[in-house]
Structure 1
Amino acid sequence: MRLFAAVLPDPAAVSELAVAVDRLRALPGADGLRWTWRAGWHFTLAFMGEVDEGLLPALRERLARAARHSEPFELRVRGGGKFGRRALWAGADGGVEELGRLAGRAEAAARRAGVPMDRHRAYHPHLTVARGRTDADLRPYVEELRSFASTPWQVRDLSLVRSNLPAGGIAGEQPRYETVGSWSLGRSG
C-alpha cells in the first residue's frame, strides 16, 4: 500500500483556505490547473511510497513512539509558493520548527521499521492546492496567496495516510486519501 505520514489541518483552516482557493480559481488561466480536493489537503511529513503490509506493525509502533516524543504545537496555513512551474502550494506558519522535527521523527520511524526511504529531501512544509498540466506562470496565484493566513490550531496528532491512486482514467480524477492510523502527540498520547 502507498503510504505517507502527515499532519491534517483543522477543519476551520481548511474552510478558510477553501475560500482563498475559490478566489484563485477565478483568476485567468486557472482552468489550466488541476485543483486538489479539500478532503485531500494535508502537510506531508514523510512520503513512504509502496510499503509492504508485513512492515505495518513495526511502522505503527515506531510512529506511535515518534508522536509520544513530540508535544502538541500551534500551526496555521499561511501564504503560498510554487515548485517550478507546475505545483502551487499554501505554506505553514507558527510551529514550523516543531513540524520539521515531527517530519524528521516520522521519516526516522519509517526507516527503522524497514521502509526504504531513498527519496529524502530537505523538509519544506507545504499543502499542495494545484498542479499544472503543463508549465504555467504561477506567480499571480502565489501573489494572491501572499496575504492569506488561517486561524491557528493545535496540532495534536500524527497521521498515517494511505494514498489510493486513480485507476479509472477519468479526467480530473484525483487520489483518495484514507487515514489508516493516528497517534496523539505528547507523553499522554
Structure 2
Amino acid sequence: MRLFVAVLPPEPVVAELSGRVDDLKRLPGADALRWTERAGWHLTLAFLDEVDDRVVPDLTARLARAAGRTAPFPLALRGGGRFGDRALWAGVAGGVAELRLLAGRAEAAGRRAGAGPEAGRGFHPHLTLARARGAADLVPFVEGLSGFEGVEWEVRELSLVRSHLPRGGEPGARPRYEPLAGWALRG
C-alpha cells in the first residue's frame, strides 16, 4: 500500500485556507491548474511510497514511539510559494523547528522499519494547493498567498495516511487519502 506520514490541520484551519484558495481560483490561469481537494490537505512529513503489509506493524510501533518523544507544538499556515512552475503551496510558521524534528523522526521510523527512501530527500514544510498540468506561471498565485496569515493551532497528532491513486483514464480524478492511524504527541 502507498503510505505517507503527515500532520493533518484541523477543520477551522482548513476552512480559513479554503477561503483564500477560492480567491486564487478566480485569478486568470487558475483553470490550467489541478487544485488539490480540501478534504486531503495535509503536511507530508515522510513519503514512504509502496509499503509491504508485513512492514506495517513495525512501522506503526516506531511511529508511535516518535510521536511519544515529541511534545505538541504551535503551527500556522502562512504565505505560500512554488516549486518551479509545477506546484503551488501554502507555507508554515510557528513551530517549524519542531515540525522538522518530527519529520526527521517519522522518516527514521520508516527507514528503520524498511519503508520509504534510504536517505532524506530534504524536508520543505508546505501544504500543496495546486499542480500545473504543464508549465504555468504560478507567480500571481504566490502573490495572492503573500499576505495570508492563518490562525495558529497546536499540533497534537502524527498520522499515517494511505494514498489511493486514481485509476488511469478517469478525467479529473485525484488521489484519495485515508488516515489509517494516529498517535498523540506527548513529549
What TM-score, normalized by structure 1, do the two folds share?
Answer: 0.97
3-state SS of 2:135 partner? coil
Q: 1:6 to 1:169 in 2, by over 3 A?
A: same
3-state SS of 1:34 partner? strand
RMSD over equivalenced CA pairs, Å = 1.0
| Distance in 1 of aligned mates of 2:120 and 2:174 | 24
Q: Which residue of 1 aligns with 2:59?
A: 59
Letter in 2 for 1:40: G
Residue 38 (str. 1) matches residue 38 (str. 2): yes
| Distance in 2 of aligned mates of 1:179 and 1:116 | 18
Residue 180 (str. 1) matches residue 176 (str. 2): no
3-state SS of 1:27 partner? coil
Displacement of 1:172 in angstroms is: 1.2
| Distance in 2 of aligned mates of 1:102 and 1:89 | 20
Letter in 2 for 1:110: G
Q: Which residue of 2 aligns with 1:105?
A: 105
Displacement of 1:121 in angstroms is: 1.4
Q: 1:116 to 1:20 in 2, by over 3 A?
A: closer
| Distance in 2 of aligned mates of 1:154 and 1:3 | 24
3-state SS of 2:9 partner? coil
Q: Count residues in correspondence.
A: 187
Q: Which residue of 2 aligns with 1:129?
A: 129
Q: Which runs of 4+ in 1 moved over 6 A?
A: none
Q: Which residue of 2 aligns with 1:18?
A: 18
Percent identity at matched positions? Answer: 60
| Distance in 2 of aligned mates of 1:150 and 1:22 | 15
| Distance in 1 of aligned mates of 2:181 and 2:98 | 20
Displacement of 1:120 in angstroms is: 2.6
Deviations 1:16-70 (CA, angstroms, capped at 9, x unpaired): 0000000000000100000000011000000000000000000000000000010
3-state SS of 2:110 partner? helix
Q: Which residue of 2 aligns with 1:69?
A: 69
Letter in 1 for 2:37: W
3-state SS of 1:104 partner? helix
Q: Which residue of 2 aligns with 1:118?
A: 118
Deviations 1:86-142 (CA, angstroms, capped at 9, x unpaired): 100001000000000000000000111111413631110000000000100100000
Contact 2:63 2:106 in 1 (8 A): yes
Contact 2:59 2:109 in 1 (8 A): yes
| Distance in 2 of aligned mates of 1:38 and 1:56 | 27
Q: 1:119 to 1:163 in 2, by over 3 A?
A: farther
Contact 2:111 2:118 in 1 (8 A): no
| Distance in 2 of aligned mates of 1:18 and 1:171 | 23
**Structure 2: tracts of 5 or more residues without a match:** none
Letter in 2 for 1:122: G
Q: Which residue of 2 aligns with 1:78?
A: 78
Contact 2:107 2:116 in 1 (8 A): no
Letter in 2 for 1:126: H
What TM-score, normalized by structure 2, do the two folds share?
Answer: 0.98
| Distance in 2 of aligned mates of 1:177 and 1:84 | 25
Displacement of 1:152 in angstroms is: 0.6
3-state SS of 2:183 partner? strand
Contact 2:78 2:149 in 1 (8 A): yes
